[in-house]
Structure 1
Amino acid sequence: MAGIGSYLKKHTEALVKDVGIEPACALTGKSKATLGRYYSDNPEHADRFMPVDAVVLLEKEASFPFVTTALAELQGGSLSFEDRRQNTPMKGGVNADVIALSQRFAMLMSEYQQSIEDGIITVNEAKRLLRETSLLQRVLIDMKLHLEEESA
């Protein structure tokens, strides 16, 4: 259970940080402290997880369904998700891209660390690493487009 809980908490943290702590509080009606407990790795919060309705509200605003994807992966499944939503202008600019880049890289490193713990990268682990790498690449493409836009 510890591995599952830790995995869900990492993805919950990524979700909250992707949306932003203040907007996440406004969307869910939860305090910063409560949201923090949902992804805290402190032993006293080990059994606290974000309610499903809060996950739905946040994932509607997030750039990626972090928690839903983690849940699918824990069950041996995967999701097909198009993160480039139609009729939505690209959010932010280069500064937002740098933040997204660091978050995606942190997720990739987290997946990598978890994958090599036993010294073997399984097929499912490789798929998760590939997905994270692809998402990192998309952030870089967005950043390139923003930089091209600003230099024109």
Structure 2
Amino acid sequence: MSVVSGYLKKHTEALVKDVGIEAACQLTGKSKATLGRYYSDHAEHADRFMPVDAVAALEEAASFPHVTSALAELNGITLSLNEERRNSEGSGGINSDVILLSQRFAMLMAEYNQSIEDGVISINEAKRMLRETLALQQVLIKMKLHLEEESV
């Protein structure tokens, strides 16, 4: 499997888990097995990806557009959310963003410290660090939006 395919499958898995497997099944009309195949890294499923309409339905319900963000990153594009998401924290302005940013960064560093303790970062540890990195990215996007609002 190519690096790009693996990257997209990991973000597809993050999207499904963000929404929840049961809710993802209802939103997409797909079974658990079918959804699992979309992010499976087994060779027999290497060419199987989630349809765009299913991605759109899940990202509408998710806290973050995981697959869209991954596609943008692969093409060197930076995304900027332009509306408050239902599942995001309240908008307290730039001061709240700075506090939240430092808290999320501290959580990432704590996760890293715990992961590197034995000298090896396992798959599960890497996934936990990736989740913290994505949460940190979301805070930065909100912070960017607040800064853009204040500069207008």
Q: TM-score, normalised by structure 2?
A: 0.60
Count of residue pairs the alignment pairs up:
108
1:17 corresponds to 2:17:
yes
Q: In structure 1, what is the Cα distance between the partners aligned to 2:131 and 2:37?
A: 19
1:108/1:132 contact within 8 Å kept: no
1:54-95 CA distances to partner (integer Å, 9 max, x unpaired)? 00000000000000000111111111125742xx4769xxxx
2:39/2:49 contact within 8 Å kept: yes
Q: AA paired with 1:133? A: L
Q: In structure 2, what is the Cα distance between the partners aligned to 1:61 and 1:110?
A: 18
In structure 2, the partner of 1:133 is 136
In structure 1, the partner of 2:104 is none
In structure 2, the partner of 1:106 is 127
What fraction of aligned residue pairs are identical, expressed as a percent? 60
The 1:21/1:72 distance shift into structure 2, 3 A limit, reads same
Task: Give the 3-state SS of the residue equivalent to 2:47 in structure 1.
Answer: coil
* Higher Cα radius of gyration: 2
Equivalent runs, 1:52-131 vs 2, <5 Å = 52-81=52-81, 84-85=84-85, 88=86, 106=127, 108-109=129-130
Cα-Cα RMSD: 3.4
1:128-147 CA distances to partner (integer Å, 9 max, x unpaired)? x6x65344799xxxxxxxxx
Task: Give the 3-state SS of the residue equivalent to 1:79 in structure 2.
Answer: coil
Q: AA paired with 2:12? A: T
2:13/2:39 contact within 8 Å kept: yes
Q: In structure 2, what is the Cα distance between the partners aligned to 1:19 and 1:60?
A: 9
Q: AA paired with 1:58? A: L
1:108/1:133 contact within 8 Å kept: no
Q: AA paired with 2:39? A: Y
In structure 1, the partner of 2:46 is 46
- Segments ≥4 residues shifted beyond 6 Å: none
Deviation, 1:34, is 0.3
Task: Give the 3-state SS of the residue equivalent to 2:41 in structure 1.
Answer: coil
Q: TM-score, normalised by structure 1?
A: 0.60
